[in-house]
């Protein structure tokens, strides 16, 4: 009998050193999908590994993941990726993003020789992951992908949206795709999330996870599932989408799309109430899932 893979999720992307500016006060904090997402997924019971790149001087930032029980495979890079996020509205829905650094593209030699039930590509800036890397992971097993890291492009001192040139070839190898409302509209021309999801699924992904400020929408085989975000505060806005996607993936390993969607909504609700990654108790999320809060 074959042994099960040692990991449930293997997440690949840059761990960032971000500068977040809220009400004129700046703080340097860790960020990125592998940071917010891996901790949330691990807290939900998934066995998580992270593949990342950053400057050796910032390797201490990885200790936070190791303390959560996450296996980290890190490659030293000339600099650490980072984004300056300046929030310009009281509800923290609007922000101005400026690139601070870039740790460079992943190479195939950065991939450890370990297996997982699902491979999640969660880059923060275009250029981290190329088609060769995507194909290599798809050859190992099912791939989930956050399109943010393919359409958010560095141009001088700005980060701008630019359509992914290889979207058809890339998404043909993806099982689960994550987009936010702005990305979905820009890529499809559709403001209706169901229609946008349907158009994106035509490229190949069987499941589409769409996030917006009100909640999460999941599209699977023509069916729509939704879950609201109902936070009592919005002090944990940074990392919302990363947390939602990883929570969905962690639960989806063994649950239906509808149940995974509800859990993603619940965990993201709790994450929005506290700065940093979600480190809460499963029972707290369960209370929201079952309507007990």
Per-residue pLDDT at 8 exceeds 60:
yes
pLDDT digits (tens, 9 = 90+) for 17-68: 999 887 788 889 999 999 999 999 999 999 999 999 999 999 999 999 999 9
Per-residue pLDDT at 90 exceeds 70:
no
| Confidence bin at 85 (pLDDT 50/70/90) | confident
pLDDT digits (tens, 9 = 90+) for 209-246: 999 999 999 999 999 999 999 999 888 888 999 999 99
Percent of residues, the chain, with pLDDT higher than 70: 97
Lowest mean pLDDT among 3-7, 74-78, 206-210, 213-217: 3-7
Q: Please report, for the chain, the start and end positions of each structural domain, with discontinuous segments joined by +.
A: 7-289
User: Does residue 186 or residue 1 have the better pLDDT?
Assistant: 186
Residue-by-residue DSSP string for the chain: -PPPPSEEEEEESPPEEEEEEETTEEEEEEESHHHHHHHHHHHTT--EEEEEEE-GGGGGGGHHHHHTT-EEEEEE-SS--EEEEEE-STTS--EEEEEEE------GGGS-S--EEEEEE--SSTTSS-HHHHHHHHHHS-EEEETHHHHEEEETTEEEE---TTHHHHHTT-SEEEEEHHHHHHHHS-SSHHHHHHHHHTTS-SEEEEEETTEEEEEETTEEEEEE---S--TT-TTHHHHHHHHHHHHHTTS-HHHHHHHHHHHHHHHHTSSSS----HHHHHHHHTT--
Mean pLDDT of 159-176: 96
CATH number of 7-289: 3.40.1190.20
Model pTM?
Answer: 0.95
pLDDT digits (tens, 9 = 90+) for 188-210: 999 999 999 999 999 999 999 99
**pLDDT, position 268:** 98
| Confidence bin at 4 (pLDDT 50/70/90) | confident
| Confidence bin at 2 (pLDDT 50/70/90) | low
């Amino acid at each position: 009998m074959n042994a099960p893979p040692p990991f449930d999720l293997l997440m690949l992307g840059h761990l960032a050193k971000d500068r977040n500016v809220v009400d004129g006060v700046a703080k340097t904090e860790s960020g990125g999908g592998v940071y917010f997402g891996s901790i949330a997924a691990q807290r939900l019971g998934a066995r998580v590994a992270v593949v990342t790149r950053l400057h050796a001087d910032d390797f201490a930032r990885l200790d936070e993941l190791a303390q959560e029980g996450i296996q980290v495979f890190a490659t030293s890079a000339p600099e650490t990726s980072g984004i300056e996020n300046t929030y310009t509205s009281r509800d923290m829905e609007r922000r101005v993003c400026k690139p601070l650094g870039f740790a460079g593209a992943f190479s195939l030699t950065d991939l450890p020789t370990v297996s997982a039930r699902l491979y999640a590509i969660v880059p923060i800036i275009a250029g981290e992951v190329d088609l060769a890397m995507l194909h290599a992971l798809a050859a190992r097993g099912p791939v989930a992908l956050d399109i943010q890291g393919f359409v958010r492009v560095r141009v001088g001192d700005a980060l701008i949206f630019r359509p992914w040139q290889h979207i058809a070839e890339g998404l043909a190898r993806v099982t689960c795709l994550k987009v936010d409302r702005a990305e979905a509209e820009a890529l499809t021309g559709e403001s209706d999330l169901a229609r946008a999801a349907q158009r994106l699924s035509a490229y190949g992904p069987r499941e589409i996870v769409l996030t917006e400020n009100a909640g999460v929408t999941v599209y699977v085989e023509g069916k729509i599932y939704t879950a609201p975000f109902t936070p009592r505060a919005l002090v944990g806005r940074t990392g919302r989408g990363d947390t939602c996607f990883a929570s969905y993936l962690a639960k989806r390993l063994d649950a239906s799309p509808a149940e995974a969607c509800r859990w993603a909504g619940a965990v993201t609700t709790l994450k929005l109430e506290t700065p940093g990654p979600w480190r809460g108790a499963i029972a707290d999320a369960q209370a929201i899932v079952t309507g007990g809060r």
